[in-house]
Structure 1
Amino acid sequence: MRSLRHYGLEPDTQRPPNQLSGGEFYQVRERNAALLLASAPVLDRLALAVRRPGYCVLLTDPHGVTLEKRCDVGDEDTFARWGLTPAMLWDEAHEGTNGIGTCLAEDRALTIHRDQHFYTRNTPLSCTMAPIHDPQGRVAGGVDISICDQESDGRAIALLSLVVEDAARRIERRLFSELFSERRIVSFGVDGQALFALDDDEVIVGANKAARVMFRCCNDSGVTLPDLLSVSGHENPAHAAHAAIQRMLKRCGGNVSAAARELGISRATLHRKIKRHSSTSVVAP
């Protein structure tokens, strides 16, 4: 167990989680301004969806610092006593196995239910969290639902897992769309989770984690999306050929003769291919 062997923690420790000073917390929020902006409407919606006594919605930074909290007014003091309030540090190195710290350490959605917590003082809690990834695929934070309601059961926990993962994906999409607001964004996969940002030449300039996993790629190689789709088998040969012709025409300023030379085919053949694909590019004679 990491908490015992690596961090040297003792399960019966009764101290509360570490709290950042006002100045430290201000700096953390400044560093996470984009995350806070993108997550605000998602957190509000999530809080309304799970609004009931004993439930708390949290947003954290990538290091386990709680940035935002949503819960019923009557539960404010209860969750504050647990340390589930802004400016608290819930990383594994200090808190052992817990929903926030363990999710961030393992970069996966999970639930730490009651006695699965390392510290005995946290065993009344059930915490379900999903990581949030930035537009470069790195962990940017997480969204968590913590419960101090002893009546919660396995079915409720399973539903919360789906809810927090959906919220995390929504925040990721907002982060990506904001960063690449001047670029064309295309999506693939279930519910369009894989996102690419393209420049005017269809070169990939951004790819979220889902896209990197789905296509086994990164966006620092200058590859175009049509080329990536062709290599990965996500595009049929006709579409790939059409995309290659369009790119070469653009690189050659619309000059068919120059494009044909670069492609290694005759000018007449290229004209036939352009006609076949109903190209709309403006070309030089």
Structure 2
Amino acid sequence: MRDDPDRGDIEPACNEPGWLAPSIQRSHERSETYGLSTSMRPDYDVLSAADLALKREQSRILCAHAAPVMETLREQIANTQSMIVLTDAEGLILHSIGDAEFLKRAEKVALSPGANWAEARQGTNAIGTAIAELRPTVVHGDQHYLAANRFLTCSSVPIFDPYGELSGVLDVTGDHHSYHQHTMALAKMSVQLIENHLFATTFRTTLQISFHERPEFLGTLMEGIAAFTSDGRFLSANRSAQFQLGLTLAGLRAHTLSSLFGLTSAQLIDNVRASLGRHLSLSLRNGHSVCANVAFRHPPSMISDSSVTQPGTTVARPRPICEERAARPRLGHLETGDPQVAAVIAKVRKVIGKDIPLLITGETGTGKERLAQAIHNDSPRHAAPFVAVNCASIPESLIESELFGYEEGAFTGAKRKGAIGKILQAHGGTLFLDEIGDMPSPLQVRLLRVLQERVVNPLGSAKSIPVDVAIICATHRDLRDMIAQGSFREDLYYRLNGLVVKLPPLRDRTDLRTVVETLLREESLSRPSTPALSVSSDVMALFERCRWPGNFRQLGNLMRTAAAMVDEDGEIRIEHLPDDFLEDVQAAAPAAGPNSTPLPGARLQEVAALAIAAAVAKHGGNVSAAARALGVSRNTIYRKMLSAPDSDASDGDA
């Protein structure tokens, strides 16, 4: 059990040849006691496919929450000759993703799903040593006990469940020649995301307090989260909460809501009601004041406030008007003057409420989910759930249980009382299946049966449950080509494409100026104390020249970044735009003609450094979050931070 917050730190790095950190030295000694020799071949005893599937089901919850985080991490380290590995608490590899060429190299030493990398099997290695030491561990090159593994550098971080028990390990492994000092920091942030997701899933029926001394850190990885019963009994707290409260998880178990925050459950509820949607100010046991949000999950019976209407409602977390509009878009909101979009919306309006399935196609980032949400909100089903499922983000081994649910005891590790699948969750409403082209073939058969017979059979159940859902699917793939290649069922395709509409990419739309103005208005609404935002003519000229490969996702990130950089007049000028965007437009300048807008070169690096510093500070030092907000790669941020004269970015965790 992990109860010592300091054990999350790793030992200082040292570049002296032959130097071994104490934990690595201890691991080498353990490897000797296991009877291993440095010259032996790696353990190639890999589980069969059936046994591995069982192990994955036993760690189903961990896999479900780790998968999207691993995908995000893969994007951040792509093309670096590396891979990402998820193991269970025993060191058994459950999943691995990464560069295809490096995955093949890793298979030669059994670094692949089904292999066990505990120290007793593979000697000193980051996965096994992190499990043995219960702390983040880097094992670099020759520090591996087995000579066969010394071409690797591995950064592993233990994953702990909300009760402090080891749940698994997240590992980033690469060629030892290309090791980057920031890899461990990325791995640690990824594990914190996974642990927070596990926390939220475990304590769904509780009172939760999210808090931090600085309000801008609420909603980020830096916020502390503590869970209590409705009568104030302590249940658990995440890593950040343990740090802020100054107690280990074991120490916190002796406390209550009253002893930690100085008020009872009833008083907290009264404060929430009186806050009118603003952050609460609470006092910790150490006397420090914090800003807090309070969430009632399946609220207790004592709460009768009309603002708490459904299980899972979050109270006292303010939402700007623009967020409300983004959460419930209507078709009218999407009409901004482009004739192609207007034609799509006109077609959609004719079939709403007529039980005709919709298939939305278009490039990534063109707004397919937003259109699906708007269709639902304008339909007779608007009061029922809108349930979105990204078929590409759920591991193949989990997507069946995610969609169809399962009965108690359907497989080892299944929840007591089973679980309701996404299809039944959408009963009466709309089921949105994004990236339908990535749905595994066996699941395509089951989905077709649901569409034809309107019933769902949960895993492990012999009963058929009637279900009433409207189906909207989306994909950026060419499903006809997939049918020709045999990777998508033709009968399912014709069942789904009652009406097929295609959203145009941003570069082909004629309403860019209107779209930009709309985004500016929404951004201004979220900043009521600042001047209204506008863009200079030079910036608009650049926008009209850009090819926008990321479409609305790229434009939205760019506008948020620029809005954070503007001066007091609120006008977005060229110096407020991210470095990568300017470089991309500059590279395309010859194709823009002789009258294209020139880009300033003298201040470009200075402007980029300021933008990056502001973004990193805003996200509490989270480089990955800053990179996403700026719409640039994390490598660009590292390069700019490391090249700055006063930079201390090299003081990484590894």
Measured after TM superposition, the shift of residue 212 of structure 1 is: 5.0
- Counterparts of 2:156 and 2:223, CA distance in 1: 19
Q: Quick one: distance in 2 between partners of 1:5 and 1:53?
A: 33
Would the aligned equivalents of 2:164 and 2:249 in 1 still touch at CA under 8 Å?
no
2:226 partner SS: strand
Contact 1:17 1:88 in 2 (8 A): yes
Given that 1:211 and 1:217 are in contact with CA atoms closer than 8 Å, whether structure 2 keeps it comes out as no
Residue 91 of structure 1 aligns with which residue?
118
3-state secondary structure, aligned to 2:35 = coil
User: What's the secondary structure of 2:108's corresponding residue?
Assistant: helix
Identity fraction in percent: 27
After superposition, the C-alpha distances for 1:7-56 in whole angstroms (9 at most, x for unaligned) are: 12111102444312233212211110000011111000000000014110
3-state DSSP of counterpart to 1:90 = coil
- 1:205 paired residue number: 235
| Candidates 29, 52, 58, aligned match of 1:2 | 29
Note the residue ranges of structure 2 that are not aligned, 5 or more in a row.
1-27, 263-283, 290-301, 303-654
CA shift, 1:67, in A, is 0.9
Q: Within 5 Å, which residues of 2 pair with 1:36-185?
A: 36-148=63-175, 150=177, 152-153=178-179, 156=180, 158-185=181-208
Q: Counterparts of 2:32 and 2:82 in 1: how far apart (Å)?
A: 32
Partners of 1:207 and 1:218 within 8 A in 2: no
Root mean square deviation of aligned Cα: 2.6
Q: Which amino acid aligns with 1:233?
A: R
Amino acid at match of 2:186: V
TM-score under structure 2 length normalisation: 0.34
Q: Could you say what secondary structure the match of 1:175 adopts? A: helix
CA deviations over 1:103-122 (Å, ceiling 9, x no partner) = 11111111100000000000
Counterpart amino acid of residue 7 in structure 1: Y
Deviations 1:227-279 (A, max 9, x none): 1356x833479xxxxxxxxxxxx9xxxxxxxxxxxxxxxxxxxxxxxxxxxxx
For residue 163 of structure 1, give the secondary structure of its aligned residue in structure 2: helix
- Quick one: which amino acid aligns to residue 286 of structure 2? H
Q: Is the 8 A contact 2:42 2:122 kept in 1?
A: no
Q: Do 2:43 and 2:121's aligned partners in 1 also have CA atoms closer than 8 Å?
A: no
Which residue does 2:45 correspond to in 1?
18
Q: Residue 88 of structure 1 aligns to a residue in which SS?
A: coil
- What amino acid does structure 1 have at the position aligned with 2:122? E
1:33 to 49, 60, 66: 60
Letter in 1 for 2:285: G
TM-score by length of 1: 0.74
- Residue 224 of structure 2 corresponds to residue 224 of structure 1: no
The AA in structure 2 aligned to 1:12 is S
Structure 1 unaligned segments of length 5 or more: list them: 238-249, 251-285
Give distance in 2, aligned partners of 1:233 and 1:46.
37
Larger RCO (CA within 8 A; separation ≥ 6): 1
Change (3 A) 1:225 1:17: farther
Distance 1:18 1:25 in 2: 12
Deviates more, 1:162-171 or 1:201-210: 201-210
Cα pair distance change 1:228/1:37, threshold 3 Å: same
CA contact (8 A) 2:227 2:234 kept: yes
Query: In the alignment, what sits opposite 1:255?
Result: none
Of structures 1 and 2, the larger Rg is shown by: 2
Query: Structure 2: how far apart are the matches of 1:53 and 1:34?
Result: 29
Instruction: Check 1:193–1:84 CA distance in 2 against 1; reply closer, same or farther (3 A cut).
Output: farther
